[in-house]
Amino acid sequence: MNLQTGIVIAVVIAIIVAIVLGLYFGLRKEDDTPAISVNTSPVSQETTISAEIIKKNASILVLEYKGVTGDEQMDITVNGKIILSENAVPKEYVTKTIDLSADQYPVKTVVVNFKNDSGSRDIYFKKALLDGVDIRPHFVSSHVAATDTARQEMIKQGKFLWGGTYTYNV
């Protein structure tokens, strides 16, 4: 093997390593372009690889929910800051994807405050994902005793049938 072939092999290996690291760590720039770039010049046969390691201080919260009557009211807070306020929760499922900014990172608490429960007003969460992890089974209600396993199971399924707060602590 000559020197030129060795260099080409080394460059290919470096490119593969950079791509694998980028895929593994999900590295992206703030403008959502890949943090790994490969520039090749056919004239000089030079290859430049740059891998910017960027720690994005943010989390993604994905919620899919509906109300039974359409009159339900709720606020959702993250680390004490309201990120979503609904004065009339829709009767059909809606999906909200919330990019939590640096002032809410790292996420320590997510609180759903069901403000006006009465009669048939209920809120159903089909989905509550924090960075891809289902957090519904981890909500604790301020109005349901920990020993009330039947109601606790309903909450874990995303059925918020009682007013008050439902808290998820990381």
Considering the entire predicted model, what is its pTM?
0.66
Are residues 73 and 155 located together in one domain of the fold?
Answer: yes
The neighbour count for residue 59, using CB atoms within 10 Å, is 19
| Full domain range(s) for residue 17 | 3-51
Are residues 21 and 72 located together in one domain of the fold?
Answer: no
Q: Which among 77, 54, 105 has a CA at the least distance from the CA of 86?
A: 77
Are residues 140 and 85 located together in one domain of the fold?
Answer: yes
Tokens in use for 50?
């740059």
Structural domain tally of the chain? 2
Are residues 16 and 67 located together in one domain of the fold?
Answer: no
Residues in the chain, how many? 170
The pLDDT tens digits of the residues spanning 91-109 come to 999 999 998 876 667 888 9
Tokens in use for 135?
């957090």
Are residues 140 and 70 located together in one domain of the fold?
Answer: yes
- Per-residue DSSP letter, 98: E
The pLDDT tens digits of the residues spanning 8-55 come to 787 778 677 666 555 555 544 444 555 544 444 454 444 444 433 333
Are residues 75 and 149 located together in one domain of the fold?
Answer: yes
